[in-house]
Amino acid sequence: MADATDDRLRLLIERIERLEEEKKGIADDIRDVYAEAKAVGYDPKIMRQIVRLRKMDANDRSEQEMILDTYKNALGMA
């Protein structure tokens, strides 16, 4: 039984390692896309913000924008 458990653990660890390597490859690809965007004149920082906003639920995004506007008004930035 211990051998089967050891084999299972080894397989799980190896699977995680492969996935981590794939994740690194995808992160490199994303970095390349942002570099390409920057080369043609887009602002990667703003693009990252847009990607983050698009991931958010519409209600959460609206609430965050409302709070941001409230803070800006309180600081005289509006």
Residue type, 4: A
Rounded to whole angstroms, what are the CA distances from 8 to 3, 19, 22, 39? 8, 17, 21, 47
pTM: 0.73
Residue 2 has pLDDT above 80, yes or no: no
Q: Please measure the distance between the N-terminal and C-terminal CA atoms of the chain and give it in whole angstroms.
A: 67
- The candidate with the shortest Cα–Cα distance to 51, out of 26, 67, 34, 72, is 34
pLDDT in tens, 5-23: 899 999 999 999 999 999 9
What's the pLDDT band for 4 if we cut at 50, 70, 90? confident
For the segment 43-49, the average pLDDT, to the nearest whole number, is 98
| Per-residue pLDDT, 78 | 80
Cβ(53)–Cβ(61) below 8 Å: yes
